Amino acid sequence: MNTNQMFAIMDFIMVGAGLYLLFAWYLLQFKNEIREGVLVQTGMAKKCKDLEGYKRYIGPKLLIFALCAIASGAIGLYSDYVKPVNSYLYLGLTLVFFVVLVLFVRYTKKAQEMFF
Q: What is the mean pLDDT of each run of 10 residues along the chain (116 residues)?
A: 76 94 95 86 80 92 95 88 82 89 94 88
Tell me if 34 sits within 8 A of 45, measured CB to CB: yes
pLDDT of residue 3: 66
Give the C-alpha separation, 29 to 55, whole Å.
7
Predicted pLDDT at 23:
96
Please report the pLDDT score of residue 79 as a whole number: 84
pLDDT at 2: 65
Q: What sections of 1-116 are H helices per DSSP?
A: 3-30, 51-81, 87-115
C-beta atoms surrounding 98 within 10 Å:
12
* pLDDT (0 to 100) of residue 41: 79
pLDDT for res 69: 94
Query: How high is the pLDDT of residue 64?
Result: 96
pLDDT for residue 1: 65
Domain ranges of the chain: 3-115
40 DSSP 8-state letter: B
What single string gives the DSSP state of each residue in 70-91?
HHHHHHHHHHHHT-PPPHHHHH
pLDDT score of 12 = 92
- The per-residue pLDDT for 18 is 95
